[in-house]
Amino acid sequence: MMLRVENLTATLGRAGILRGLDLEVNAGEVVALLGRNGAGKSTTLRTIMGLTANRAGRVLFQGRDISRLPTHRIARLGMGYVPEDRRLFSSLSVRENLEAGRREPPPGYRGEAWTPERLFELFPNLAGLGARRAGKISGGEQQMLAIARTLMGNPVMMLLDEPSEGLAPLIVEQMARVIRAMQSAGVAVLLCEQNLRFARAVASRAYVIQQGLISRQGEVESFFNENSANDFLT
Ligand SMILES: Nc1ncnc2c1ncn2[C@@H]1O[C@H](COP(=O)(O)OP(=O)(O)O)[C@@H](O)[C@H]1O
Ligand SMILES: [Mg+2]
């Protein structure tokens, strides 16, 4: 088991944003967390990373309880997180952004450590852009760069917040290839999505979150076998 979330709750002000959420990601698995706007997807990822103040429940990462650890320690254990707003250094070059993400592999890391050169193979559309300022590349390229920079920290698992959002169809396809390549490299992935087709292209299993609770779960393919497949997103 890579990640196990048990009865996770998060409150903001007086509102319960997450109301007792359970989910699991196995080693080597890509899992989607699907839900419409405001359902609690981003809050789930932020809470796993220790970024919400009022939280309860348990988060086990590689068997270890991380639910009370500060964010930087969670990251150092090998959890990569790419938030929706990317947080690139826009005045630094693409290569400098990658270098800014470089970390020693976490304990127990078995793969080969990432280098900019290896990442340029995985992200061919970034390969020619090493010297360009991050603020000057396209939105899709920035999304790729945010993921690549996080991979420079040699995570064993990645949390991706709506990686396909706002991307042109061709770039969405590249993003799907990148996620599959990460999986081949041994990185488990939990990604938030509203794009069911994208989730289907990359994930084997999915959870649906509605108002801070998991309302259904299963093989992604099973979500396409009924007329109501899209109801939870429309
Ligand atoms: N900083 C915040 N303060 C108050 N409410 C928030 C804050 N962030 C998110 N929320 C509320 O929490 C709920 C879940 O938000 P979020 O996790 O961003 O959903 P999603 O990512 O699925 O769109 C929404 O109802 C949203 O309005
Ligand atoms: Mg969100």
What CATH number did the domain enclosing 110 receive?
A: 3.40.50.300
Q: Please report the atom of ligand 1 found closest to the CA of residue 162.
A: 21
12 lines ligand 1 (CB under 6 A): yes
The CA distance from 142 to 80, in Å, is 17
For residue 224, what pLDDT is reported?
78
CA atoms within 13 A of residue 107's CA, in its CB half-sphere: 6
| Residue 13 included in any domain | yes
Q: How many domains would you assign to the chain?
A: 1
What separation in angstroms does the CA of 158 have from each of 1, 96, 108, 131, 223?
14, 21, 16, 26, 23
Residue 224: what residue type?
F
Query: How many C-beta atoms surround the C-beta of residue 227 within 10 A?
Result: 6
Q: How far is CA 67 from the centre of its chain?
A: 18
Is position 228 within any domain? Answer: no
Helix (H, G, I), strand (E, B) or coil at 75: helix
Is the shortest distance between the CB of 212 and ligand 1 below 6 Å?
no
* Residue 112 within a domain: yes
| Residue 231 lies inside a defined structural domain of this protein | no
Please give the pLDDT value at position 107.
Answer: 82
How do residues 86-117 score in pLDDT, each as one tens digit?
889 999 999 999 999 999 999 878 888 999 99
In a domain, 229, yes or no: no
Structural domain span for residue 25: 3-223
Residue 172: its H or E element: helix 169-184
The predicted structure's pLDDT at residue 232: 58
State residue 228's pLDDT score. 54
Q: Indicate the top mutation candidate among 42, 43, 194 to test ligand 1's pocket, ranked by most ligand atoms within 8 A of CB.
A: 43
Q: Is 161 a member of any domain? A: yes
Compute the distance between CA of residue 174 and CA of residue 178 in angstroms, rounded to an integer: 6
Q: Is residue 167 part of a domain?
A: yes
Distance CA 227, CA 20 (A): 28
Instruction: Give domain status of residue 150, yes or no.
Output: yes
In which residue ranges of the chain is pLDDT below 50?
none
57 with 20: CB under 8 angstroms?
A: yes
pLDDT in tens, 27-56: 999 999 999 999 999 999 999 999 998 899
Q: Is the CB of 42 under 6 A from ligand 1?
A: yes
